[in-house]
């Protein structure tokens, strides 16, 4: 998978959410940040403009069965009016989610989309590409 450009500036990494924090690297070149985490099958490029951002890597329940099989990456930006709050939801908002699906799972999701199952189509997102036996797709936050 190639670098994908989405948006960001000064960097903070949420240590507790990392699969292996010591191995992840964030490199800066002309205020463009490249996230290279060995837990992921791709590198993510975040250009300047998003302010402080953090990311989380984990697994989510499949959209087509009960398996905990879909790896995800979520990128969050700091909100402006946090006051003294320590609540994650009040301090950060999600701007981007990238999720991995098996090719068979992606085909099932596409069939659901053809049958106008908008919920599954919206949750699956837009396909970024394929690598080996996986499909990567993204969803962007509305706000």
Q: Give the residue-averaged pLDDT of 107-133.
A: 89
pTM of the model: 0.72
Residues in Cβ contact with 136 at an 8 Å cutoff, skipping those fewer than 6 apart: 1, 41, 42, 98, 99, 100, 101, 127, 128, 129, 130
Kindly report, residue by residue over 32-85, the tens digit of the pLDDT.
778 888 888 777 887 777 777 888 888 888 888 877 778 889 998 888 765 777
Structural domain total, the chain:
1
**Which among 90, 95, 86 is positioned nearest to 9, based on CA atoms?**
95
Examine the pLDDT at 22 and tell me if it is beyond 50. Answer: no
- The pLDDT confidence band at residue 25, using thresholds 50, 70 and 90, is low
Average pLDDT, the chain: 76
Q: Which domain holds residue 86?
A: 4-140
- The Cα 19–Cα 37 span in angstroms is 9
């Amino acid at each position: 998978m190639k670098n994908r450009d989405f948006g960001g500036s000064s960097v903070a990494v949420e240590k507790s959410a990392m699969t292996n924090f010591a191995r992840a690297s964030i490199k800066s070149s002309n205020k463009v940040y490249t996230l290279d985490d060995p837990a992921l099958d791709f590198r993510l490029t975040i250009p300047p403009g998003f302010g402080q951002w953090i990311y989380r890597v984990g697994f989510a329940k499949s959209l087509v069965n009960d398996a905990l099989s879909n790896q995800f990456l979520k990128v969050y930006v700091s909100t402006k009016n946090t006051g003294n709050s320590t609540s994650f939801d009040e301090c950060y908002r999600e701007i981007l989610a990238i999720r991995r699906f098996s090719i068979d799972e992606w085909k099932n999701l596409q069939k659901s989309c053809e049958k106008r199952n908008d919920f599954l189509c919206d949750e699956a997102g837009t396909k970024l590409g394929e690598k080996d036996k996986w499909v990567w797709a993204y969803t962007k936050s509305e706000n």
